[in-house]
Structure formats: C-alpha cells, structure tokens
Amino acid sequence: MGAQAEQTLKVGIIGCGGIALGKHMPSLAKLSQVAMTAFCDADAERAQAAAKQYGGAGAAVHSDYRELLQDRSIDVVHICTPNDSHADITVAALEAGKHVMCEKPMAKTVEGARRMLEAARRTGKKLTIGYNNRFRPDSVYLRQVCARGDLGDIYFAKAHAVRRRAVPTWGVFLDEEKQGGGPLIDIGTHALDLTLWMMDNYEPKLVVGAAYHKLGGRSNSANAWGPWDPAKFKVEDSAFGFIVMKNGATIVLESSWALNTLQTGEARCTLCGTEGGADMQEGLRINGEAFGKLYATSVQLERGGVDFYDGAAESSADREAREWIEAVQNGADPVVKPEQALVVTEILAAVYESARTGEAVHFN
C-alpha cells in the first residue's frame, strides 16, 4: 500500500446503538489504520458511552449528525441509525466529503436509495452498505465457486431468512414508520443480497409478493427475546416473494420472524445451475454429476487440527470493516457496491407493493 494507505483514517460513528456496539465499533477498533474520533446519537448518554469506550482523548460527542459532518478532519462515516434516516444522513455525509458505510438496508424507500447512489456518483466519494454476510467463510468460498462457473448457469435459487420465533422486541424494529417493514427488510434483505451476489444477476423483470400479519397481533411469550407487545407490532411477521429475472432465472425469497416451522435459517441461499448446485442449509454443500454419477460434498471451512494452533479465523464483521477501510485507502471499489444494494431495495419494495395490491410488479 502507498503513502495514502498508511495514513490514519478518522472515522465518525452516527448512531451508537446495538448494531454499532455489536459490529461496527468493535471491528473498527481492531484496525491500526483507523481512529474513531467522533460519536453521534440522539441519546447523548449513548454517544458519550461509545466515545469513552472506543474514542481516544478528545473524541467529539454530538447529538446532531450535522454537527459531526462539519468536522473536516473526518474521512469516513459509519451510519447505524433506523432505516428511515439512512438516505438523508448518507447524502449529507457524501456531500460533506466523507466516504460512507451505511448499515443495511440501503434505505427505507427506493427513492431514498437512488438519492444515495446519485450523491455517491456526483461527489466521487465511496459508498457501501453493511451486508456483512458476504464476508462469511462459506459465502466467500461459494462466491468463488460461482464466479469460476462450477455451477454453470444458475437459473433457480432460494433466499432463506426464516426464524421460528425470534422477533426483535427492542429499538424500533416493530415500527413500520421508522423501519419500512419487518423481517423482509430486516433479515430478508441479507438473504436476497447474498443470492443476487452469487448469481451475479441484478436485472429483475417482475416480482410477486405476499406479506402476513398472522402472529404478531397475538400476545406471545414463546419468543427468543421475550414477549412482544401486539399493540406495537406494526410490521409483517412474515413475507415471501417470487422474483423473475430478465434472463429467465427465478428466485424464491422467504422471510419471517415468527413462523410455525422447523425449517429455519437466515442469510442463506440455495442455488441450482446447469452444471451443479449448492446450499447453506447444513454447512456449505456442493452437488453435481461426474462420470455418470451424482455427488454431494460438504466443504470444510474451519481451520484447526494442528497442535498449538486454535484455528481462530477473522469474523465476518472484522473482514467487512477491514476490506471496506482498505478500499477507501487504496481507491478500490468496495465489495458491496451501492448499485447492487439499490437492486435489493427495489426488489424488497416490489414484494411489499405486490403484497399490498395483489398484483405483480413489473420492472422496465
């Protein structure tokens, strides 16, 4: 890396809640070329606590993101706020000369996501979206398999994001106005992003969707994070989509926080191609045909098995942060391109629209 790559990047954190504390700040703190110098949250105490834990001496604390963006020394901003604010804050940050990592989904609306992409192109600053599941070992491996053509033409896929009973009861997850939806926009977005990336197909033709609020209106104590308040459950508890791509490929998208099923799993995909298939249901499995016989193989991704070596691997969150910062330093494209994230948002919006109208949504 050149002289620019050796320079310390100053990072500002906007939104110091769960995802910032659980993913962004711990991973950034492991990077020697990064210094978190500013923290912003509508809750001043949260911003102060984050600054105390992750900021150095003199770290700035703000309750208004506009104040943070006025700091010309900040190179990169991580946006970890509710979905409805992603677009406005991202556009403002890009226009203030910052590179932006915005948490998924790209935006609450298609219009907001398009504004974000236009601002990135206009300002020349880098923009990426926090689809961290691309950085898992199984995802990285399967992407290489697909890119090499081992599966051939992938013409059918499933994007899985199904929980039996794991409704997030904190924050604004159940608030449709803040989030734009429930499990579809929360975890379905991860599964869809992963599937499109594996297929390298970002040209949808039409979408048919259905969304349900069957269980969210009930009082229920059987939930991973305790009972939810039915009066506050304003989003769907499950949603499903059937997506036809312009080249004829089809994708089935399934998402749920609460569903009476034992077939669970999230941020997973199943791929079926002309030369082989793959799935992430029980680890990573590749299947195909060779020498007149069918085969299925499980890919061993774990390290270890050697004395005095514990096999510790870089987490997906750490890899996401490292590769993002390296892209900024080296002037390279981020792994998650905003053009790709926009298509994810467009398809999610089409599922919701189809569910609302009962009609298929066609893409020009």
The arithmetic mean of pLDDT across residues 193-216, rounded, is 97
134-311+344-362 folds as: Dihydrodipicolinate Reductase; domain 2 (3.30.360)
What pLDDT, on the 0 to 100 scale, is given for residue 310? 53
CB proximity list for 222: less than 8 A, separation 6 or greater: 165
CATH of region 3-132+318-336, choose from 2.40.110.10, 3.40.50.10190, 3.30.420.40, 3.40.50.720: 3.40.50.720
More confident residue, 43 or 302: 43
How is the chain split into domains, by residue range?
3-132+318-336, 134-311+344-362
What pLDDT, on the 0 to 100 scale, is given for residue 326? 97
pLDDT tens sequence across 109-122: 999 999 999 999 99
Instruction: Give the residue from 254, 251, 240, 244 showing the smallest Cα distance to 160.
Output: 254
pLDDT at 225 over 70: yes
What pLDDT, on the 0 to 100 scale, is given for residue 118? 98
More confident residue, 221 or 40: 40
pLDDT at 63 over 80: yes
pLDDT at 141 over 80: yes
The arithmetic mean of pLDDT across residues 280-308, rounded, is 85
Task: Tell me if 3-132+318-336 shares its fold with 134-311+344-362.
Answer: no
Beta bridge partners of 154: 273
Instruction: Give the residue from 45, 48, 88, 44 showing the smallest Cα distance to 69.
Output: 88
pLDDT at 1 over 60: no
Please compute, for residue 188, the number of CA atoms within 13 A of its CA located in the half-sphere on the CB side: 29
Which band of pLDDT confidence, cut at 50, 70 and 90, is reported for residue 309?
low
Q: Which two tokens stand for residue 70?
A: 């006025």
Whether the CB-CB separation of 241 and 196 falls below 8 Å is answered with no
Q: Where are the beta strands (DSSP E) in the chain?
A: 9-14, 34-40, 60-62, 76-79, 99-103, 127-130, 154-162, 204-212, 238-245, 250-256, 265-273, 276-279, 284-290, 293-299, 361-362
pLDDT at 311 over 70: no
Relative orientation angle of helices 189-199 and 137-148, to the nearest 10 degrees: 30
The arithmetic mean of pLDDT across residues 135-153, rounded, is 97
pLDDT at 83 over 90: yes
What pLDDT, on the 0 to 100 scale, is given for residue 5? 44
**Mean pLDDT of the chain, nearest integer:** 94
Overall pTM > 0.85: yes
The arithmetic mean of pLDDT across residues 219-240, rounded, is 92
Residue 221 per-residue DSSP state: -
pLDDT tens sequence across 122-136: 999 999 999 999 999
